[in-house]
Chain A
């Protein structure tokens, strides 16, 4: 075998590989067209720290409605500090970030954006690599290290499960009770106004510290609150653009 011949053959093969790669890239473009167009509704949650007493009812109602095991909290309430004499709490659901690190890093597109802004989890697709857990700046994700068996201690006192229990080996998180929103909308109800169409944590809050609604509707409770009051979001410096807003606790004059 002479050398020039070998080289030409290699060259041809290389070009074939090149053509294959380019046409492959075109195919990929169609196969992975995943850009989500923003829909008419953009759900946001507003949590008033001045009203939150840290009772933790939201966590329990969430566990019952979403059948979350007792050692996992999709909505965690922590003591954040003090304003004057008053303790201040932070309730942390999933932030449903508009630029969510978890959506970017998931190798199988198990975390995706819905048109209404909710960051969805596909529990049938998740492979349990836990990259999203490592990437989430809010520790909002939990892994199912073991099978959750037996009755849920939060049921029926705090509500009845409305979504299937997640299997062992997948990561789970809060999805703004998307099932309640979807069912409510199909019945002509307004999420954030009608309790049947509103996330469980909002309904259970005894002090009305949590408000839910459509950011695109200027008349919604959340739009009004965010218009009237100063608000902040968690770790804004990371530019994840969370859809959970907090109204800071104001010291009593």
Chain B
């Protein structure tokens, strides 16, 4: 804040946008190289065919889970006062899903055939189900975001009729919340089940991954929404937040993390009881092997234990710095979990030779191209959110809370 006062605010804003644009440009160059030369530019192999881009894909879908959970809370559970936060979450959701689509376009070998899943259905395939859900949910998010885009001043000045129609779409919010909830419950869990159904990979072959995926997604999605709201309100005076709402959500996130820790504990413990080729090695990769730092520090200590303490303790939760730190750590822990889940199954190659329990290890480190294009996708997300905060006022609790309160007062009267 102090540093910010020394410069005119616009300079900092432009510098931020400039940096993001440079990262996006670099990402576009990297993506064009991938499209022209092929996936040979990555460090992926037939042994480890999924890597950094899949992690970005899974993580950006997970941080979008705030949209369906908060919309369900507002429109289905009737917690109307959280509506302004749900609005922010929906916008983040739209950004998250487009980020996922971008990383998938990079990752598949034939991006020109991305539409095949919509035309050629294999209903046995979880990846097909996820593709359909993501496509449909992206449409839901786009409709849900129409009233937000209608707030763009330039648009409302030039096409007032259009924007009033877009605002009118808000009427469908309850039904969109139902559809969104259904689609999200399906594909957020199925993303975990994509791994969980593969009997060729004993480390993944268990039902728990789908449960862990959706719980961690809800925690991380809400965390990012609250974190993004708080940081926007600190960086610009235009943004007004209702800290009481954010505090309540942060408290709730703390309890979701406890549930997540509980499932995580029994999931991991159940895998330690017998020696199972591939599974035991996968678990020891996490607890002692190359992924152990990610697991113990990234996922468990910083991703779970520290945020639980900070968010459930009233004193630290009340302090913006500690609350924001805890929320950022939750998102980081979720990303670490996605990365570790993907690699702990892939880094171990089971032999198909009969009577041979031999397990071979392989390795994966993302290449420069993968990193640069991944950064480009991340920068796109940040740019979209920054523009949203500034021009669409996606974080604005005052106006809408006011509006919602008026409605709350008005509705019972009308009902009578």
| A residues lining the B interface (CB < 8 Å) | 1-4, 6, 10, 13-14, 17, 28, 31-32, 34, 78, 80-81, 90, 92, 101, 103-110, 125-131, 133-139, 141-147, 167-171, 232, 234-235, 238, 246
Contacts and interface: CB of A to CB of B under 8 A. Distances in A.
Nearest to A16: B175
A32 B38 contact: no
Nearest to B345: A134
Interface of B: 37-40, 42, 44-47, 49-50, 107-110, 113-114, 116-117, 120-128, 131, 174-175, 178-179, 194, 197-201, 346, 349-350, 352-354, 356, 411, 414-415
A139 to B, nearest CB: 7
A80 B122 contact: no
B49 A133 contact: yes
A31 B415 contact: no
Interface secondary structure of B, over-half rule? loop
A106 B125 contact: yes
B299 to A, nearest CB: 22
B40 A108 contact: no
Contacts of B179: 17
Given A138-B352, A144-B109, A133 B46 contact: yes
Contact of A170 (B42, B110, B114): B110
A90 B353 contact: yes
B415 A131 contact: no
Contacts of A169: 38-39, 108-110
Contacts of A168: 38, 109
B49 A105 contact: no
Given A32-B122, A34-B122, A127 B415 contact: no
B298 to A, nearest CB: 24
B199 A108 contact: no
A133 B198 CA distance: 11
Contacts of A143: 39, 46, 49, 109
Contact of B127 (A31, A32, A81, A131): A131
Contact of B200 (A28, A108, A136, A144): A136
Contacts of A10: 174-175
Contacts of B197: 104-105
A6 B122 CA distance: 38
B108 A129 contact: yes
Contacts of A80: 353-354, 356
Nearest to B47: A139
Nearest to B124: A104
A130 B354 contact: no
5 contacts: A2-B415, A31-B121, A80-B356, A137-B200, A171-B109
Contacts of B38: 144-147, 168-169
Contact of A127 (B109, B178, B201, B414): B109
Contacts of B113: 108, 125-128
Q: Which of A125, A128, A246 has the most CB of B within 10 A?
A: A128
B181 to A, nearest CB: 12
Given A10-B175, A133-B46, 15 more contacts: A3-B411, A14-B175, A34-B122, A106-B125, A108-B122, A109-B120, A110-B120, A125-B113, A127-B110, A128-B39, A129-B108, A129-B109, A137-B200, A142-B46, A171-B109
Contact of B110 (A103, A126, A146): A126
Contacts of B39: 128, 143, 145-146, 169
B40 A146 contact: yes
B37 A108 contact: no
A105 B175 contact: no
Contact of A109 (B107, B122, B126, B175): B122
Contacts of A3: 411, 414-415
Contact of B198 (A1, A14, A101): A101
Contacts of B349: 139
A130 B48 CA distance: 10
B321 to A, nearest CB: 42
Given A3-B415, A131-B127, A134-B346, A125 B352 contact: no
B199 A32 contact: no
A135 B200 contact: yes
Contact of B121 (A32, A78, A101): A32
A129 B127 contact: yes
A110 B128 CA distance: 12
B200 A101 contact: yes
A147 B349 CA distance: 26
Contacts of B174: 6, 10
Given A32-B122, A130-B50, A170-B110, A232 B200 contact: no
Contact of B122 (A90, A106, A128, A138): A106
A107 B122 contact: yes
Contacts of B116: 107-108, 110, 125, 127
A97 B267 CA distance: 31
B49 A130 contact: yes
A108 B352 contact: no
A14 B108 CA distance: 36
A105 B200 CA distance: 12
Q: Which of B110, B411, B415 has the most CB of A within 10 A?
A: B110
Contact of B120 (A90, A108, A128): A108
B344 to A, nearest CB: 13
Contacts of A17: 175, 179
B108 A128 contact: yes
A228 B109 CA distance: 46
A108 B117 contact: yes
A1 B110 contact: no
Nearest to A2: B414
